[in-house]
Chain A
């Protein structure tokens, strides 16, 4: 048995186990006539890090947004952390509190300071005292290297700093799953590294993560699996080593050529 080591974010490290966190079974979704998710079958265990990639418009964002029901599905079943999302009586707000989400455009609350951005949900939803929430928040800010920005407002931060605050904000809820939708796509190249660094540490601490990204370095270093989507379908699902060495599907080969080419 592997000994639990303390992860970077203070979570006990959990080896990818058999505990199922996300299960898609024959999931379909339409936007009006547009069939955006086609018979999706996907299984993510606790502690797994899954990277989702694919061309623009292939349905990557829609796929991860179904997991916290930002997008409802039209058919099939989707079970997240033991909760069936098609169940009308399911308490979706309770589930969302367990799932952190990080967006391409950060979406920090511009009227609140960095510290308040992080403590708002823990205080109002988790019912933490202000003092406890703030000391948690300060610990997280230290992890992401932004303690001195506690009093700043989002517009006063660089993109990379905003994204690190957004990650800290999501982690403050002590989520069981973290979803990332192209977290580095809106960043200037010199800021991508600082965000990926935080994400890698999180991945290594045993957090269950689904990450839409074209950062293939991140995928090969820390992910357990890569999923390639095209036109609403999962065309390929493989270990990153296999995916990068010999992608089976022609469209995946084409896609990899494009994202890995130095001209890109």
Chain B
């Protein structure tokens, strides 16, 4: 008969709990840093995708197709194992001196997620009446400034729900960073399991933490959109 002794103390105190805690910290850092970068990059790509300069638009289009349609894991491996070949020496040196695994994971998560965010923002922009752009242009704003002050702020407000979704995906996807040795939550849970054989406890704890982190991120976003971004269509 298979008999499994549950032992929750393993994950609640002592050395192994500390591992998990440090994993939580890394997952949180990895997610938040990547969320910020992916949002900014997504905005930029969305604007480029809508540019009326053809090469710029084509570049953005290629970017979107490429990064949305290749597996994230492959992209993580690419930046971790392959970027030596294409990045300039100075950047490689700097990355090596800092935390190369972490940086590679941030780059991969940022680029991958930015492609999805760009598409969400673009459909948000499409839903803004064209008269808004006309009003902005007719008061003397350039295309870029009109985007910056008038169109994107409205588009982002509309895009908050799909953005929350992308940010949660990113947080979950960050667990793939363990494959290149980033000591985030899943990595640490795996460590605890292999030292204690308490896999059930370790991964249950990790699962709960992902749920909580996701809830915190979604909650913060919702709060931010309610308090800081005022509602625009109060009809």
26 A–B contacts from the bound complex (CB under 8 Å): A68-B138, A93-B140, A93-B142, A94-B140, A96-B140, A99-B138, A101-B135, A101-B138, A101-B139, A103-B135, A107-B132, A107-B135, A109-B132, A109-B135, A109-B154, A111-B154, A111-B232, A120-B150, A124-B149, A125-B140, A153-B234, A155-B232, A155-B234, A170-B139, A173-B139, A173-B140
Using a CB–CB cutoff of 8 Å, the interface residues on chain A facing chain B are 68, 70, 93-94, 96-97, 99-101, 103, 105, 107-111, 120-121, 124-125, 153, 155-156, 169-170, 173
Contact of B141 among A93, A105, A111, A170 (CB under 8 A): A93
> Which B residues are CB-close (under 8 A) to A153?
230, 232, 234
Contact assessment for B230 and A124 in the assembled complex, using a CB-CB cutoff below 8 Å: no
Complex contact A155–B138 (CB within 8 A): no
For B, the interface residue count at a CB cutoff of 8 angstroms equals 23
For residues 136 through 195 of chain B, which have their beta carbon under 8 Å from a beta carbon of chain A? 136-142, 145, 149-150, 153-154, 157
Give min CB distance, A202 to chain B, whole Å: 17
Residues of B within 8 Å of A100, CB to CB, are 139
Please report the C-alpha to C-alpha distance between residue A91 and residue B154 in the assembled complex, in whole angstroms.
27
Hey, which chain A residues are within 8 Å of B230, CB to CB? 111, 153
**B134 beta carbon closer than 8 Å to chain A:** yes
Q: How far is the CB of A184 from chain B (nearest CB, A)?
A: 17
Given A107-B131, A111-B157, A124-B145, is A70 in contact with B234 using a C-beta cutoff of 8 Å?
A: no
Closest to A99 in B: B138
Judge whether A125 and B141 touch: CB under 8 Å. yes
B131 touches A97 (CB 8 A): no
State A99–B140 Cα separation when bound (angstroms). 9
Query: Closest Cβ of chain B: how far from A245's Cβ, in Å?
Result: 35
Verify A109–B150 contact, CB threshold 8 A: yes
Known contacts A103-B135, A107-B135, A108-B135; 15 further A-B pairs (Cβ under 8 A):
A70-B134, A93-B140, A96-B140, A101-B139, A103-B131, A107-B132, A111-B157, A111-B230, A121-B141, A124-B149, A153-B232, A155-B233, A155-B235, A156-B234, A170-B139
Give the most central of A70, A97, A107, A108: most B CB within 10 Å: A107
